[in-house]
Each structure stands twice: as structure tokens, then as C-alpha cells.
Structure 1
């Protein structure tokens, strides 16, 4: 019997996410179409692959057996893709992170990538989580432990946050106003914290992290920044103690199979080393004032 890799990939999505509706976003197919594809695969195997219930899909013993084999096929397909990429051009390691962390990595690029490396590096900057499971990135720096069972996480540090103003107490800063974040950037936990406590005193907003910093530097008001950003910018001054409730963990996340790739492993180890070297700055223990 010949199995389709597309069908096996859909089976992996449903098995890992525990149901059709959860797998729709990952597969891009409707629940009805997914259901038909899974039913067809079960007919091909000759046995049920899932116990179906209102709470989701749970693997049968046959499903568990197929899962192990489908993961072997997935690893082989990944190896084939790497071989094809290597034949066409250099391997590119994609690292996803938020705006500030991406900027920090860019500022220390020589410790993450050098011209001697036989691979390229791409920074995928996004406030929303990038789907490593679908290989939209090879590595991710996140503020939470990954919950997906196919992702591996490594705790690499802590990130503290503080309230900052520009060095020159002018305009909105002098009046006690704040600079908020609008648009997609407003979904971060620090932006929500500021909005919840000081919405009535937010007079100016920026749509991205960098513009908010420039607004604060130039006196539009105060705002919240990670300490590794605020404490390393001589144009900013921390005006209150570290905000303990905003402190987050920092995790390096990768796909279980992808993390064994030599290039991915090398970049990951370098990121761990870089963050350890600057851990005091990230924890807010090195104010420059």
C-alpha cells in the first residue's frame, strides 16, 4: 500500500494537536476536509487511528504505531529538503524573536554568525509567535516555555522591565504623561500593563517598538521597556524600580528534529552563550546611571 506524504503530514497535525479544529490553522484545511482525509487514511490502514470524543481525538494503538512511523518519514523528508537546499544554495538558519531581542542579536551578530560559517542567518522579527512547528523558523527566542509536544525548549535567562523617560525632562515627560503602543505592538504584555494602569495619561502612541523609544527619548512621555533596552541606551533613564510583575523567562525554542541539525545547534549554542554573558543586563541589574 502506498501512503501519501501529504496524508501522513495531516495525520501528524491532528495527532499532535488532538483534534480536527485545532489542526485547521496548521494545515490550512477545513475541519470537514481534514475529517475526510483522516477517514480515507483509516480505510487505507484498515483500522481506526483515533478514539473520537467531544474533547478531541486520541490515538488508538494503531494510531500510535503509525505516529512513530510517520515521524520517521517526516525526519526523512526534512533530510531530503535540507539536501535539496544544500544543492541549490547555502543553508539558512531562521531565528525568530520580538523586536527588541532581534535588535539585540543584530547588535551582537559577530557572536552569532561569522563569514566562516557555512550557512546564512535570517532574523524573523515578529511580536506574534512564529510557527516553528511548520518550519517558519528554525529557532525562536520566546518568553514562555513551549507547550507543543514537538518543540524543545531551553531556559536561557530572565528579562526584567522598567519605566523609563528621556534624559531631558521636557514636554510630556515633565507633565507626567506616558507613551503607549498602538497596533500589533500593543498586544505585548508590557504594552497591556501600561494601558491597564495609565491609559488616562497616555497622550502619544507609536506603532512599533523603535518609534516608541524615539518618542520617549525626545520627551513625549515615559514608557515601559525591557531593562536590556533602557539600561543600554544613554538617552534613557530608569525612573522607578524594576516592575517585578512583568519579569519573564527567556526560552530558546526549536523543533525536536531540527535542533539536531549542526547549523541550528551551533547558532543555538551561541545564543545561549550570548545571553549568559549579558544576563545581568537582562535581569535589570546593570543600570548605566
Structure 2
């Protein structure tokens, strides 16, 4: 019969879709992880994965087992949270591991300093930041909570708005851009069009541009390209203090407002630890957005 440790290994491979990517988090080598999966499949008498050079894809049975194992993992996490709270009192610091999934702009310019402050107050807490150019899948337990730029419309999720934030057109400080016509002969830096994973990240219409001459799926790469004089592009106001070579231009003509949302799996809403962390994270993000935007206002 499969033991919880077997399911833990199975979940890690199911989420990583690879033995080598799952191994570090399990503190095992890839060969050991492979043997554990083979033993589990042998004990069950059924295949959980389809193996290929591209990785490990779940079979139909594997997908059903992943969902049930994830539910068991969540229940175990809640039980441990309750035990920690009962044993340490209401004022105890948070502990254990919490993983946050977020777009790379938030991951690069906001989360490091906010999470550093939370970690300083909670030395027993291990915080992981998962920066992905796509929406984090909480149902697959890729993370404990996610930050998104659109409110999810499906899934067993709880969603709370964190804050609005602002974006403007930015260019090198020596650029002479006074009217929209001045953009006609400027290279546009932005997202790779077919890799925009959220409609709120599609800024081309705001610029009246038809194409992007230098593109990346990473907003941080875009900002670095602008810092090296690659052209003009939309930049988060909260990122500009980290890019002193850039300035906002045409602020009266091009000004965008977007929002950040904190998303959690519904089954986690009774976790006091995650709720405390989510509240502290939201407060920290609101304060940091306000602080950084004030520096460029």
C-alpha cells in the first residue's frame, strides 16, 4: 500500500513533470526519485506517468491520483497549522514553508523586499517566490498562493484585491519625446505577442502600435533593454526607481492602471498560518507599491 512519503514523491514529479526538476525539492537524486515512482507504480499495478524525452506526463489515473493526493496534502498542512498554533500561542511567529507564485514584475520589484521583511519577523518561515511568465496553477499545488493581474473566473479559489498600480511609457533620459508623433520612428519594446498570458498585459493598443521590435516574455528583460537604449516601452511605475536611466514620457497621453489580486485555493481558507501570511503580504505589497510610485510621481 502506498505510504504518504510515496505520495509526496509522486506529487513532486507530477508538479515538476520531470525527475530531475523534482529531485532538489525532495532532497534526492533523480535516479532515486525514478526508483520511488517505479516502485509506487508497481505496488499499484498501474502506470501513473507516460515517460518521454520531454518529461513525465500524467496518465488519466495519475491525474485523478494527483488531485486526491493534493487534497490530502492540504488537509495535512491544515492539521499541522492548527497544531503549531495550539502549541505556540496566538502571538507566535509563522514557520514552515510557503510558496508564492507571481508574474516576474511583481517577483523582481516588489516581493523580495516585502518577503525579506516578513522573514525577518518570522525566522522559522521559509518563503519561496515562484516567478513565472504564466498564471500559476494552484489546483496543481504549484504554489500556496498566487498574485495575479486579473481576477480568476474559474476554479475553487478565493480572490482578494491587493492594490491598483500604474504604468507609463518610459524612455532613456536623453530621449526627446514630446508628442505621440515622436513615437513613429522609435523602436517599441514589449511582450512577445503570442506569449501574453493575460489580456491585462497587452499594451500595444494603448500605444497605437502595430508591432514590437524588441520583445521578451519577461518584463524585467524589457526594462533592462530600455535601460540600454533599445527604444521606448511600457514600464511599471514601481519598477522605475530601479532604473535610474529611464524617465516617464507622454504621461498626459499614455497612463495605465492595473490591479493585483491575491488568490488562494478555497480548501486553504481555514489555515490560520496562510491567512496571517496573506494578510501581511497584502499589507506589505500595498505599502511598497505606494512607496515606490511616490518616488517617481
TM-score w.r.t. structure 2 length? 0.60
What is the aligned length? 221
What is the CA distance between 1:206 and its match in structure 2?
3.5
Indicate conservation of the 8 Å contact 2:171/2:246, yes or no: yes
- 1:180 paired to 2:190: yes
Query: Aligned match of 1:255 in 256, 265, 283?
Result: 265
Pick the aligned partner of 1:95 from 100, 110, 117: 100
Secondary structure of 1:128's aligned partner: coil
User: Which runs of structure 2 are paired with 1:234-273 in the superposition (5 Å)?
Assistant: 234-241=244-251, 246-273=256-283
Shift of 1:186: 4.2
Does the aligned pair in 1 maintain the 2:146–2:264 contact within 8 Å?
yes
Provide the C-alpha distance between the structure 1 equivalents of 2:102 and 2:117, rounded to a whole number of angstroms.
17
SS at structure 2 position matched to 1:247: strand
Kindly indicate whether residue 208 of structure 2 is the aligned counterpart of residue 197 of structure 1: yes
Match of 1:124 among 130, 151, 160: 130
Distance 1:287 1:199, change over 3 A: farther
The equivalent of 1:79 in structure 2 is 75
When residues 29 and 183 of structure 1 are mapped into structure 2, their CA distance, relative to the original with a 3 A threshold, is farther
> Which ranges of structure 1 fall in alignment gaps of 5 or more residues?
1-5, 7-26, 38-70
The TM-score, its normalising length taken from structure 1, stands at 0.61
1:288 maps to 2:292: no
Q: Alignment partner of 2:186: what SS? A: coil
Please report the RMSD computed on the Cα atoms of aligned residues, expressed in angstroms: 4.1
- From the superposition, tell whether residues 204 and 149 of structure 1 become closer, same or farther in structure 2 (CA, over 3 Å): closer
CA distance in 2 between partners of 1:260 and 1:272 (Å):
18
Please tell me whether the aligned partners of residues 167 and 217 of structure 1 are also in contact (alpha carbons under 8 angstroms): no
Residue-by-residue CA offset, 1:72-97 (whole Å, 9 max, x unaligned): x98665333566899xxx72101011
CA contact (8 A) 1:163 1:242 kept: no
Equivalent residue number for residue 240 of structure 2: 230
Segments of structure 2 that go 5 or more residues without pairing to the other structure are 1-6, 8-56, 84-94, 177-181
1:121 positional shift: 0.8
In structure 2, the CA distance between the partners of 1:253 and 1:222, relative to structure 1 (3 Å rule), is same
The residue aligned with 2:169 is 163
CA deviations over 1:211-238 (Å, ceiling 9, x no partner): 2111111111001112211355322211
Structure-1 residue corresponding to 2:28: none
